[in-house]
A and B are shown apart, each in its own frame.
Chain A
Amino acid sequence: MEGQALTDALDGLRQEVRQWLADNAPQGWRDRSSSESAFLQIQRDWFAKLVQGGYAVPHWPAQWPGGGRSLAEQKILYEELARADTPRLLLSFMSTYHAACTLFEWASEEQQALLIPRILAGEIWCQGFSEPNAGSDLANVRTRAERVGDTYVVNGQKLWSTMGQFADKCLLLVRTSNDGPKQAGLTYLLLDLKAPGVTARPIHQIHGDEEFAELFLDNVEIPVSDRLGEEGQGWAVAQSTLSSERGLTLLELSARLRGALWRLADLIRAQGRQEDSGIVRDFGRLSAKVDATCAVADQFLANRIAGIERVGDASIVKLSYSRTLRDFTALGLRLGGIDAQYHSPITFGGGMETGNWMADFMNSYAWTIAGGSDEVQRNIIAERLVGMPREPKSWTLKEGAA
């Protein structure tokens, strides 16, 4: 399809999705999402509904139910989800993107036939990559897997597993060798979190939410058949996981940011500050910045569709969003004044801009730190996109230092 036929088809899809959302999108969910259990229920119900409607996994290959949507179609879907202000799929996000996309690329047909349908049925995956000493420097993973016959015996600690305390399965990056470059000793395993020796503890975030867990692995046995790729190939498999989602989430989040400008506007009006040039200017500047972030997310996706994406383009989008989100929440906090300094209960899974400004401001660090910190993004932009020289690796530990 091309030209007018394509435009018509996309317009048709937009109308179809908009109608479906009018009939099916949950209403008043933020008010209900005042506890963790309510949050989980809202997430599970909404995901099940999207699966039923065929909109949960548009990025999957066409052979799976709900899959086979083009990027242009996915874009429309996410724009409409943002417009309808539906709950973002936080609980199932790792499952449908990171887990599924890694399985599509590396798992056998039997493994896929077993695991993929379970994701649609609601099985939750988390990612076990980061560790206390492997954050920005991910290749530094130390969680150890010793092969004993047909099983790996795993010991170590994982950090920042999104939704890890609610998950059933985990994408696990472990060290099977200390020889050669750090990356070469890594292996990728699929861990059943119900296995003996696994302890998941939620991480208490500074704004009161618990969206991440730390996982303690104490002599956990994983069958060798649950390995993806060969032993020592873990780094390559992990790259598939990390690149499973690029573009659409930030497009959706930027659109949601634009859609949430009313929260700031309402505050300005409620305080009678419509004639306060200082605040009006800052609000105007922010809204232009939000528009630019939406435009750059849009351009990124268009370049991806056209096959002209460059290494580092995604980092520009992420950095642009993370800084704009920080500005957005900072302006909310400023407008919130002393009121914003009194604690009010957070909305679980309410999004990045809930109007609980101190909580939103603190939560905005999730985007300047997680998924590759702003500093890592700046390195990528400067070195990979602009072409400045790479950091020299000449630095060594002092004698006797830990």
Chain B
Amino acid sequence: MNMTRAEVQDAADKAFGQSDLAPDAAQSWALIAEMGWLMMGVPEELGGLGLGREAAGVIHQGVGKVLVPGPVLAQMLTIEALAAANDLPERDALIADAMAGEVMTASLAGGLDGADRLTCVPDADTASHVLHVTADRVALVPAEQFVVTYRIGWDKSRRLFDVTVEGPGLTLAEGDAACALADRIEALRLFCLAGDSLGGAEAALAMTVAYLETRQQFDRPLALFQALKHRVADMRTQLTAADALFWSRAQQADTDIIALGALKALACAVYRLVAEEAIQLHGGIGLTMEHPCHLFLKRAMLNCALGGDADHWDEQTGRAALAAAV
């Protein structure tokens, strides 16, 4: 762990480390802006901190750990796009607003957006702008040019909207530049979803182990039963391996989308496993709305579906590995 990553980790622990699960959305958003997390990936000459992918990794693991609600991931995608829009006159003012916490959201669905319809857009109702990514153009569309429809999801930690775009918005990139930017946005989305998933898995596993150590049946803590210990050990092992891959890919500067897709699929598979096992190992209490187990399960399932699912990325990974393995 280099100094930067350690420092960001320290800040993340201070911000949300002691927080309850699924903290208040408005307070969380204010805290995220105040901590400067939205500035992390922005180059210093644009008023940001100029930190790379590792910092984003720390933040999204931290956000995933406590199930922070809100549009932080989507906002970072928009900020990434704005940072690249060197030809846009309003850019500096817009990026300053975005870093300060004015909601500028984006789709988390994965791949390119439809010509005029976006799905899985967090907090679009409070957003001043939405990012619109198509094959030959990346645009920032102001609120007066889009209409939002709220979709009630199972995962209450993300308020998702369908968005219909009714105006051209501001051009951030066109042609080849748009293509390259779309790749960068996709890479960042995959990486951050992987981070959110690994953070969530870490927290769900810790919660489960704590429960097994506390809950007594047959005059002993459940944690004494080897059958349960071995399940914990398997989860620990898969999670540690996925986490190692996460930090190894964080250090690679390039945006090999498929490598990040493979990472996202693996991280989500581990999150899903841990979240499913968390409920099973908690027994009846895990099935109640009062207990937080279901929060992890619902966010894990949503993460699996966002950004391209495992079927998609496993196949892409397989094709790439076939081409590489000669």
Contact = CB atoms under 8 A, between A and B. Distances in A.
Nearest to A289: B266
B243 to A, nearest CB: 8
Interface in B240-289: 240-242, 244-245, 247-248, 262-263, 265-266
A288 B313 CA distance: 10
Q: How large is the interface on B (under 10, 10 to 19, 20 to 34, 35 or more residues)?
A: 35 or more
A268 B322 contact: yes
Given A287-B318, A388-B209, A389-B223, A378 B229 contact: yes
B262 A265 contact: no
A213 B322 CA distance: 40
* 5 A-B pairs with least C-beta separation: A284-B318, A284-B317, A280-B318, A382-B229, A265-B325
Given A280-B322, A378-B233, A382-B233, A287 B317 contact: yes
Contacts of B27: none
Interface stretch (A178-186, A293-301, A350-358): A293-301
B229 A288 contact: no
What is the interface residue range for chain A against chain B? 35 or more
A283 interface: yes
Contacts, number: 137
A387 B212 CA distance: 11
Contact of A386 (B220, B236, B247): B236
B99 to A, nearest CB: 32
Contacts of B326: 262, 265
Interface in A255-275: 261-262, 264-266, 268-269, 274
Contacts of B213: 388-389
Given A298-B244, A299-B244, A265 B233 contact: no
Interface in A13-59: none
Interface on chain A toward B: helix, strand, loop, or mixed SS?
helix
B97 to A, nearest CB: 38
Interface string B218-238: 001101101001101110111
A262 B323 CA distance: 9
Given A283-B322, A296-B241, A379 B313 contact: no
B316 to A, nearest CB: 7
Nearest to B320: A284
Contacts of A241: none
A387 B236 CA distance: 12
Nearest to B229: A382
Given A291-B262, A382-B229, A391-B224, A284 B319 contact: yes
B315 interface: yes
A279 B247 CA distance: 28
A298 B232 CA distance: 23
A320 B236 CA distance: 10
A281 B266 contact: no
A374 B320 CA distance: 31
A299 B1 CA distance: 10
Interface string B299-326: 0000000000011011111111110111
A285 interface: yes
Given A284-B318, A285-B317, A392 B224 contact: yes
A398 B246 CA distance: 51
A281 B244 contact: no
A388 B229 contact: yes
B233 to A, nearest CB: 4
A291 B226 CA distance: 29
B232 A288 contact: no
Q: Chain B: interface secondary structure?
A: helix
A316 B318 contact: no
B321 A284 contact: yes
Contact of B242 (A283, A292, A323): A292
A388 B223 contact: yes
B223 A295 contact: no
Contacts of A137: none
Given A265-B325, A284-B262, 18 more contacts: A265-B326, A281-B315, A281-B318, A283-B318, A284-B315, A284-B321, A285-B266, A287-B325, A288-B317, A292-B242, A295-B245, A295-B248, A299-B247, A377-B233, A378-B234, A379-B233, A388-B213, A388-B232
Interface of A: 261-262, 264-266, 268-269, 274, 277, 279-285, 287-289, 291-293, 295-296, 298-299, 316, 319-320, 323, 375, 377-379, 381-383, 385-389, 391-392
Nearest to A377: B233
Nearest to B240: A316
21 contacts: A266-B325, A268-B322, A277-B311, A280-B318, A281-B315, A284-B316, A285-B310, A292-B244, A295-B241, A295-B245, A299-B244, A299-B247, A316-B237, A316-B241, A319-B234, A320-B238, A375-B230, A378-B230, A378-B234, A382-B230, A386-B233
B221 A389 contact: yes
Contacts of A296: 240-241, 244-245
A391 B318 contact: no
Interface string B82-114: 000000000000000000000000000000000
Nearest to B248: A295
Nearest to B312: A281
Contacts of A289: 241, 266
Contacts of B313: 284
Contacts of B236: 316, 381-382, 385-386
B278 to A, nearest CB: 14
Contacts of A392: 220, 224
Given A291-B262, A298-B248, A381 B317 contact: no
A165 B213 CA distance: 47
A282 B321 CA distance: 11
B233 A381 contact: yes
Contacts of B232: 381-382, 386, 388
Given A288-B262, A292-B242, A296-B244, A283 B233 contact: no
B211 to A, nearest CB: 12
B314 A261 contact: no
